Amino acid sequence: MAVTPRPYHHGNLRVALLEQAERTLADGGDLSLRELARQIGVSHAAPRRHFAGKQALLDALAEDGFERLGTELRGALADADGFDARLLAFARAYVQFATEHAALLELMFAGKHRPGAAPSLRAAADRAFETPLALIVEGQAGGDVAPGDPERVGMVAFAAAHGIAALANNQMLGDFDLDDLVENAVERLILGLRPR
Amino acid sequence: MAVTPRPYHHGNLRVALLEQAERTLADGGDLSLRELARQIGVSHAAPRRHFAGKQALLDALAEDGFERLGTELRGALADADGFDARLLAFARAYVQFATEHAALLELMFAGKHRPGAAPSLRAAADRAFETPLALIVEGQAGGDVAPGDPERVGMVAFAAAHGIAALANNQMLGDFDLDDLVENAVERLILGLRPR
DNA sequence: ACCTGAACACCGTTCAAGT
DNA sequence: ACCTGAACACCGTTCAAGT
C-alpha cells in the first residue's frame, strides 16, 4: 500500500472539480467552491489554477451539458423514421434530458445568456440545437411542415418541449403522466405545423 | 421639521422590505437580506421579526407575483372576443409579464416546487392559472378545442407560452421579433388544438 | 507549474439585550 | 412588540509564500 498522505496533489484537479461539481449538482447540493475543494482534498484556493472563478467552472459544466444534450438528440433521431416519429423522438429525448438533469439544464440556460459567457459555450448550445432545426427543414422538404424560416416555424415546437420540461421540473404537471403529455403535445404540434 | 434621527423605526418594515426586494430584483441585483436592511436603514437582524428567513421573503414575493400575473391574465382576456383572439391575448399577456418581470418569474416558479412552500403560494399560483384553464373549457364548448381533460389538452399551449417566455429571457430568440413569434406560435396552436 | 494559508469583505441565522 | 449588536459558521476572491 503506497501511503500517499496527500502528496503534493492530483494530476487532474480540473476534471476532478468538474466531476465532483456535477455529482453535487445532481444531488441537489449548493455547489460551493470551497466545499468542492474540501471534498476533493485540496485547499480552497487551488481551483483558481484551473478556473478563473466560480462562474468559469459553471460555464464549463454548462458547455459539457450542451454537448451531451446534442449527443442525446442526435442519437434519438438516428433511430426514428418519418417526420411524426422523429418529432416525437426529439421531444421525448429533450424532455428526458431536461428532467434527468434538471439542475444542469437550469445552469445551461442561465449561463448561455450571461453577458461575458465564453463563445465556446454559445457554440456548444448552437450545435445542440442543430438537430431539431434540421428536423424542421426535413419536414418542410417532405411537405409535413409549413414553409418559412425554419427557426421561426419550428419555434413553437421547441418552446413547447422546453416548456413541458420546465413545468415538469417545477412540479407543475400535477398527476399527469409526463410521457403522455409529451405524446399529446407532439400530436397537436404535428397538426399545427402542417401547411394549410 | 421633525428631526426623526432614525426614530425607533418604521411602522411598516414588512412592506418596505418587499418593495425594496422587488426593486432590487427588477434591477438584476442579488437580493441579500443584509443589503436590503441596509438600504432601508434598519439592522440586519430586523427583518427576522417579519420573515422567518430569506426564503420566506422570497415566497412572499413569489405569491405577490402570482397574484399580479393572475390579474394581468384576467384583464387581457376581458378585452378579447372569440377563442382565437382570446388565446392570442392570453399568450401575449403571459409572455409580456414573463419578460417584463424575468427575475420575479424565475422566483415564482422556483418557489412553487420547494417542498416546504406555503400553501398560500400554491393557491395563488393555481388562481393565476384558472383563467387559461377556463379558456380551454370555453374553446371546447364552442367546438374550437378537442375534447378531453382541459388541463391535458391545453398543456401544449401553456407550455409553448411558458417556453417562449423562458427562451426570450435567456436570449435564445436571436433576431426574431418576440411578438411575431408569439403570433405565429398561437396560429399553429389554434390549428393543433382543433378537434379532428 | 501547482498548491497552501492567511486575509478581506461579504453572507444568513441566532440570541441576549435594550426600549 | 420591535429592534440592535455581537457572535457563529459559512461564502468567493486575492495574494504572498512555499515546493
Residue-wise pLDDT for B34-48, tens only, equals 999 999 999 999 999
Q: How many angstroms separate the CA of B20 from the C1' of C12?
A: 18
* Cβ-based neighbours of B183, under 8 Å, separated by 6 or more: B88
CA distance B176 to A149: 10
Residue B54 Cβ < 7 Å to strand D: no
Give the nearest partner residue to A167 out of B159, B173, B189, using CB atoms.
Answer: B159
pLDDT of B10: 67
Residue B44 Cβ < 7 Å to strand C: yes
Asked whether the beta carbons of B125 and B66 are under 8 A apart, the reply is yes
pLDDT of A117: 86
Q: Are residues A79 and A42 in the same domain?
A: no
Q: Are residues A95 and A177 in the same domain?
A: yes
CA distance A75 to A80: 9
Q: Is the pLDDT of residue B9 over 80?
A: no
Distance in Å, alpha carbon of A177 to nearest chain B alpha carbon = 10
Q: How many angstroms separate the CA of B10 from the C1' of C17?
A: 21
Q: Are residues B30 and B68 in the same domain?
A: no
Q: Is the pLDDT of residue A169 over 80?
A: yes
Instruction: Tell me what the mean pLDDT of segment A3-32 comes to.
Output: 81
Q: Are residues B43 and B112 in the same domain?
A: no
- Interface check A195 vs B, CB under 8 A: no
- Per-residue pLDDT of A94-105, as tens digits, reads 999 999 999 999
- How many structural domains is chain B composed of? 2
CA distance B109 to B12: 27
pTM of the complete model = 0.93
Asked whether the beta carbons of B94 and B163 are under 8 A apart, the reply is no
- Candidates B94, B109, B144, B156, partner chain A, best to mutate (most A CBs within 10 A): B156
Asked whether the beta carbons of A158 and A166 are under 8 A apart, the reply is no
Q: Are residues B70 and B126 in the same domain?
A: yes
Q: Which domain holds residue B8?
A: 1-51
Protein-proximal nucleotides of chain D (any atom < 7 Å from a CB) = 2-7, 10-16
Q: Are residues A87 and A167 in the same domain?
A: yes
Residue of B117 and B52 predicted with greater confidence = B52
Q: Are residues B64 and B131 in the same domain?
A: yes
pLDDT of A115: 77
3-class DSSP assignment, residue A11: coil
- Per-residue pLDDT of A142-156, as tens digits, reads 999 999 999 999 999
